[in-house]
Amino acid sequence: MEYALTFEQYQEGLEKGKLLGLHCNTCETFTFPPMGTCRNCNGTDLKVAEAGGEGIISTFTVVRVAPEGKRPPYVVAMAELKEGPSVIGNLIDINPDEADMKLIGKSVKLGSQMVEGDVYSSDDCRVITFSLKEG
Amino acid sequence: MREVAVLGVSMTKFGVSEKTNLEMFTEAGLEAMSNSNIESKDVEALFFGNCLGDFEEGQMHMAPFAHAELGLPMSAPATRFESACATATVAIRHAALLVGAGVYDVVLAGGTERATKMGTPLATKTFAMATQSQHEARAGLTFPGVFAMAAHMYSSKYGVDLPELKKNMAEVAIKNHYHGTLNPKAHFQKEIDLDTVLDGMMVADPLQLFDCCPFSDGASALVLAEAGKAKDLVKKPIYVAGMGQASAGSLYLQQDVTRVKARETAVSQAYKEAGVGPDDIDVVELHDCFTIAEILALEGFGFYEFGKAHDAAAKRETYLNGKVVVNPSGGLKSKGHPIGATGAGQVTEIVEQLRGECGPRQVEGARIGLVDTLGGDLGTVCNIILRS
C-alpha cells in the first residue's frame, strides 16, 4: 500500500508554508506530522489535509548541553494543535534564558526553519517552529 | 509455558573502563556461567544487548564475536538486541520466553556498553538517535530534554510549583547516591546533598547535572534455564514470575508525557502473569535515568496515585527500610547507566536481593522484586517480576 504522505512531500509542504497532515475518513481525526496510519483509529483511509497553524504550548525545555553539531541554548517545545495532534519543534523569537513556566498554555503560531544535515542524518531539512502570538 | 529460573548473575563494576565492549561482556559472561555451575558447551543461545557499539568502537554485529570470546558452541545462535536503554531487559525477556516455550533449556543473556568512549557531545547525539529522527532529533531534542519536558508538564498538570518539584526531584538523586555508597560496583559511591543538586550546571531546564544519570561503561550477564534444570545446578534459583513489554510511538504522539503508557501496559502484563499487585513488591530496580523518571515510574506501577509520588524520596518512603525500597543498587543515577547492560544489571541486583546476598544494602526478607527498564523517549518499557 502506498505511503499516504511521505516525509519528502511533507517537507515540500513546509517549504511552501503549508503544514500537511492526514485527515482520517473513518474517524475524522487529524494526524500530524504524517505517518502510515491514523493516530487514533489506525485506519488507512487517509487524505492529505492542511493544518491551520495554531497551537498551545503543552511543555518545553531549554537545551543547554547539545548534541554534537548543535549550538545551545535553544528551546524545544511541544504544542497541541487546534486540530488535536501534538508536535515537537523549536520555540523561536524568544531569549532562551527568559523561557519559564509561564510559556505553558500560551498560544503559538507554527512555522518551519531549515536545520543542517550531518554525517549521520544526511540532508538538510525543515523542522517545526513555534512563535508566541501577541497578547 | 514452562517455568523459567535465573541461575548465576554477574556484572562488571560500572563506571569508566579501558576495556572493550567484548572484554567487559566476556568477563561478565564467564562469571555468570561459573556462578551457574555450567560450562560454555552447555549454553544453547546467546541474547546479547548492545546499543551504540557502532559509534563507540566502530563495531557492529558484536554478538557472534561475544559468542566466540565466550567459547560457545557453533550451534548456539548469538543475536544482538537493541531497544535503546531497555536493551538488556528486552534481550532477557526474549531469552526467558524461548526457554519457557521449550526451544532452549539453558541460555545466556545480558549486554555491554562503552558509552564514555564517545565523549559528551557525541554521546548526547547518539543517545538522541533513539528519539524520532525527522520530527524530534532534528529539532535538537536530547534525552535530558525529553525528561525535562516531562518535569515541566508534571509541575503544570499537578500544580506542584517548580521549585518544590525540583527539591523533591533532588531528593531522588540524594537517595540513590546514598544507596550507591553501599554498592562497591556503582559508578558513583559518594553521598550528595541538596546543594550539590541545586548548584549543579543546568543541562536541560529544569534538569541540572545531578538530576541526570551518567554515561557509563559496563557489562552484565546472567544464565536462564528451565526451572527443573535450574534446581539441579544452583542452590537458590530465582524464578521469573511475570514479564511485560509494551511499545508506544514518538513523544509527540503520546501528548501527556507525565504518563508512561507503555509502562502502564507492560507492568500490568507482568502483574497479571505473576498473580501479584503493587502491594506485593518488596524491592524495585527502576529506570531513574533522570530524577523525574523515578517519580513517573512509581506512579506508573500503581505504588502512588498519579501526581502524588514526587515527595516519596523526601519522605524517605523509597529508602532502604522504607515502605518500598527503590533502587537499592543506587539505580541508574548512582550505579550507572551503560545502556546496553543496564537491564541486566537491574536483574542482577534483584536476583542478589532475593538471595539475600546484598550485604549492607540488603532489603530484609525480600521475596518479590520488580525490574523496570525504559527505552527511548517513552517508546519501550520492559518489566520483569522475579521471586525467590
| CATH of residue B206 | 3.40.47.10
Cell of A57: 504550548
Residue at B125 is within a domain: no
What's the confidence (pLDDT) of residue A92?
A: 97
Residue B201 forms contact with A (CB below 8 Å): yes
What mean pLDDT comes out for the span A85-95? 97
DSSP lists the bridge partners of residue B9 as: B222
The whole-model pTM stands at 0.98
What's the confidence (pLDDT) of residue A118?
A: 87
Please state the ipTM of this predicted complex.
Answer: 0.97
Are residue B267 and residue B322 in the same domain, yes or no?
yes
Residue at B181 is within a domain: yes
Residue B153 forms contact with A (CB below 8 Å): yes
Give the closest of A35, A78, A121 to B138, CB-based: A121
Q: Which of B131, B142, B209 to mutate to test the interface with A (most CBs of A within 10 A)?
A: B142
Are residue B198 and residue B317 in the same domain, yes or no?
yes
What's the confidence (pLDDT) of residue A123?
A: 87
- Is B85 marked active-site? yes
Residue spans per domain, chain A = 7-50, 54-132
Residue at B124 is within a domain: no
Cis peptide before A85 (omega within 30 of 0): no
Query: In which residue are the cell numbers 508538564 written?
Result: B153
Residue A56 forms contact with B (CB below 8 Å): no
The Cα–Cα gap between B321 and B325 comes to: 7
Domain covering A54-132: architecture:
Beta Barrel (2.40)
- Is B177 marked active-site? no
pLDDT tens string B288-328: 999 999 999 999 999 999 999 999 999 999 999 999 999 99
Are residue B231 and residue B258 in the same domain, yes or no?
no
Q: Which residues of A touch B255 (CB under 8 A)?
A: 58, 78, 80, 86
Are residue B143 and residue B182 in the same domain, yes or no?
yes
Are residue B179 and residue B92 in the same domain, yes or no?
no
> What Å distances lie between residue B20 and B58, B87, B382, CA to CA?
11, 18, 27
Domains identified in chain B, total number: 2
Long-range contacts of the stretch B166-169 (C-beta < 8 A, 24+): B166/B198, B166/B206, B167/B194, B167/B198, B167/B314, B168/B295, B168/B310, B168/B311, B168/B313, B168/B314, B169/B197, B169/B211, B169/B291, B169/B292, B169/B295, B169/B310
Are residue B296 and residue B235 in the same domain, yes or no?
no
User: Could you say which residues of chain B have pLDDT below 70?
Assistant: none
The Cα–Cα gap between B204 and B224 comes to: 40
Selected residues 224-263 of chain B with any CB under 8 Å from a CB in chain A: 249, 251-253, 255, 257
More confident residue, B358 or A69: B358
Are residue B272 and residue B337 in the same domain, yes or no?
yes
Q: Which of A57, A65, A94, A101 to mutate to test the interface with B (most CBs of B within 10 A)?
A: A65
Size of interface A-B (CB pairs under 8 A): 116
Query: In which residue are the cell numbers 541554548 written?
Result: A73
Are residue B252 and residue B383 in the same domain, yes or no?
yes
Neighbouring C-alpha atoms within 13 Å toward the C-beta of A33: 27
* Of residues B1, B241, B221, B237, the one with CA closest to residue B98: B1
Are residue B356 and residue B371 in the same domain, yes or no?
yes
For B89, list phi and psi in degrees, rounded to 5: -65, -40
What's the confidence (pLDDT) of residue B119?
A: 93
What's the confidence (pLDDT) of residue B388?
A: 97
Residue B200 forms contact with A (CB below 8 Å): no
Q: Do B135 and A88 touch (CB under 8 A)?
A: yes
The Cα–Cα gap between B70 and B33 comes to: 10
A129, A17 Cβ separation under 8 angstroms: no
Q: Do B201 and A64 touch (CB under 8 A)?
A: yes
Q: Please, which residues have CB within 8 angstroms of residue B321's CB and are 6 or more apart in sequence?
A: none
Are residue B44 and residue B177 in the same domain, yes or no?
no
Are residue B273 and residue B232 in the same domain, yes or no?
no
What's the confidence (pLDDT) of residue A135?
A: 54
Are residue B269 and residue B228 in the same domain, yes or no?
no
Q: Which of A63, A106, A120 to mutate to test the interface with B (most CBs of B within 10 A)?
A: A63
Domain span at residue B83?
4-119+216-239
Q: State which residue of chain B sits closest to A70, comparing Cα positions.
A: B140
Residue A115 forms contact with B (CB below 8 Å): yes
